[in-house]
Amino acid sequence: MASVPTSAAVAGGLIGGFASVRCTKRREVGGAVLLAAGAWSVRDAVRSAGPRAAAGVLGTYLGAFVLSHPLAGKLGGWPSVLAVTAVASSVAYALVDRRR
């Protein structure tokens, strides 16, 4: 069975979290999606590339989430989420998926 790339889980968490908030109008639903995908990504990164890579994935994931909020005021919601997702998933690819 093929494993889901960490970069795909990072992208799914950020985009899926935002989309679930937009669809349900409930932040806690988006938070649950964001948390689940983030936890899976970090766990997978530890197993695949070690704790340093996992710390990089986690820091970038959380930074992307935080940065998307002020960036949304300048770009709009979806463009902001897509921009930070591109960066965070690229970092996850470089730190974890490329090594596989």
**Among 30, 34, 29, 27, which residue's Cα sits nearest to residue 10?**
34
Angle of helix 51-75 versus helix 77-95 axis, rounded to 10: 160
Count the domains in the chain: 1
Examine residue 69 and state whether it is found in any structural domain, yes or no: yes
At residue 1 the predicted structure's pLDDT band, cuts being 50, 70 and 90, is very low
In this structure, how many other beta carbons lie within 10 angstroms of the beta carbon of residue 93? 18
- Domain with 57 in it: 6-99
Q: Which residue type occupies 33? A: V
Examine residue 1 and state whether it is found in any structural domain, yes or no: no
The predicted structure's pLDDT at residue 2:
52
Examine residue 31 and state whether it is found in any structural domain, yes or no: yes
- What's the DSSP call for residue 99? G
Residue 25: its H or E element:
none
The predicted structure's pLDDT at residue 3:
85
